[in-house]
């Protein structure tokens, strides 16, 4: 996964909570447990026993336990093995900012439990975890979902409806984005009811040709439509090594344009127009406004996860989000 230098995301407990594969990184945050240590014969793993909450650690009634539990359910409910316990909701020395502590574990006992702590913002709609500000509440993804429905205007496959909208933020020169395309192609087949959008998010400080590739992509869409774009995109990712130099990028992009059934000269002229440059800038600004800190990122009705995650997990989260949003049959 490529992280953006201007918006570098630290490895926080948030990542551990949102994505099971990162649980191992939080092992140093394991809560104390009264359970006896396992015998040398290593008995079968079992669910962790969390310490009993101390009423003295609940010095604030905002957010409520119900809100915290709903937030955790929204994020971890896709995994039936996930369990958690609200351990503390405390006032801090700063008015309007409270500290929340949640212990998170796994019913099977295969994952090491960890302590997930965050600070609530005064609006109670956001939390602070490490250097990130994250949407919070019973429906934490709703605000970002609305923003994406209004502003994610990239080429798309699948349904015209935005009820289930999967927005991929990617950089044509990013190798992890290239690897994620296998997932995206599978999603088109497995979720025919979804609108699957490609949103440019180039990182020119790392990938000098990524902005040019994004501009070409917008022009291919403008001149040839969505189908032409995805033919172009597949060809660019296949020939990604050619983007290493300016001359190589020209050859690679022109070849991809030809495969999409368009004339390279027309697309190249289009790519240099203020309208197209503004379009790429707007897409990058959308990513900033959503605090997209790495590519490839997939926003599932506003919920952000790595687009190159294991496919089974990706599919599981999408199916869960469908249920959360009342879309499943």
Tens digits of per-residue pLDDT, 215-265? 999 999 999 999 999 999 999 999 999 999 999 999 999 999 999 999 999
How far is it, in rounded angstroms, from Cα 236 to Cα 246?
14
pLDDT (tens digit per residue) in 131-167? 889 999 999 999 999 999 999 999 999 999 999 999 9
DSSP string, 207-254: -TTHHHHHHHHHHHHHHHHHHHHHHHHHHHHHTGGGGGSHHHHHHHHH
How far is it, in rounded angstroms, from Cα 321 to Cα 75?
9
Instruction: Specify if 114 maps to a domain.
Output: yes
What are the respective helix, strand and coil percentages of the chain, to the nearest 5? 45, 20, 35
Q: Tens of pLDDT along the chain (329 residues)?
A: 776 543 323 233 344 444 433 332 232 233 333 334 444 555 556 888 899 999 999 999 999 999 999 999 999 999 999 999 999 999 999 999 999 999 999 998 888 899 999 999 999 999 999 888 999 999 999 999 999 999 999 999 999 999 999 999 999 999 999 999 999 999 999 999 999 999 999 999 999 999 999 999 999 999 999 999 999 999 999 999 999 999 999 999 999 999 999 999 999 999 999 999 999 999 999 999 999 989 999 999 999 999 999 999 999 999 999 999 999 76
Cα–Cα distances in angstroms (integers) from residue 262 to residues 31, 155, 173, 218, 229, in the given order:
60, 16, 22, 13, 10
Domain count, the chain: 2
The dihedral sign for the CA sequence 7, 12, 14, 16 = positive
Q: Which domain holds residue 10?
A: 2-36+45-139
Instruction: Specify if 279 maps to a domain.
Output: yes
pTM, two decimals, is 0.86
How far is it, in rounded angstroms, from Cα 322 to Cα 184?
17
Residue that finishes a domain, picked among 114, 139, 164: 139
Residue that finishes a domain, picked among 106, 139, 172: 139
């Amino acid at each position: 996964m490529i992280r953006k230098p201007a918006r570098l995301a630290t490895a926080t407990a948030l990542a551990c909570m949102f994505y099971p594969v990162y649980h191992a990184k939080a092992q140093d945050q394991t809560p104390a447990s009264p359970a006896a240590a396992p015998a040398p014969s290593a008995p079968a793993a079992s669910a962790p026993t969390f310490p009993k909450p101390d009423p003295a650690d609940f010095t604030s009634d905002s957010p409520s336990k119900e809100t915290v539990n709903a937030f955790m359910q929204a994020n971890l409910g896709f995994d039936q093995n996930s369990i958690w316990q609200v351990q503390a909701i405390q006032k801090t020395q700063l008015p309007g900012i409270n500290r929340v502590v949640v212990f998170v574990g796994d019913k099977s006992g295969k994952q090491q439990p960890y302590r997930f702590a965050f600070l609530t913002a005064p609006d109670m709609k956001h939390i602070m975890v490490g250097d990130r500000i994250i949407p919070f509440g019973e429906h934490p993804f709703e605000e970002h979902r609305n923003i994406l429905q209004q502003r994610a205007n990239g080429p798309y496959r699948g349904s015209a409806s935005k009820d289930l909208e999967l927005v991929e933020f990617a950089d044509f020169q990013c190798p992890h984005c290239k690897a994620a395309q296998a997932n995206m192609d599978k999603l088109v087949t497995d979720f025919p009811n979804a609108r699957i959008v490609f949103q440019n998010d180039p990182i020119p400080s790392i990938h000098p040709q990524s902005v040019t590739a994004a501009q070409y992509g917008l022009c291919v869409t403008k001149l040839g439509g969505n189908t032409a774009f995805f033919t172009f995109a597949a060809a660019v990712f296949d020939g990604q090594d050619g983007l290493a130099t300016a001359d190589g990028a020209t050859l690679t992009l022109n070849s991809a344009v030809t495969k999409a059934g368009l004339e390279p000269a027309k697309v190249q002229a289009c790519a240099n127009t203020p309208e197209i440059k503004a379009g790429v800038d707007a897409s990058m600004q959308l990513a900033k406004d959503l605090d997209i800190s790495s590519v490839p990122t997939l926003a599932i009705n506003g919920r952000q996860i790595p687009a190159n995650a294991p496919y089974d997990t990706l599919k599981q989260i999408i199916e869960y989000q469908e249920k959360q949003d009342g879309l499943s049959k």
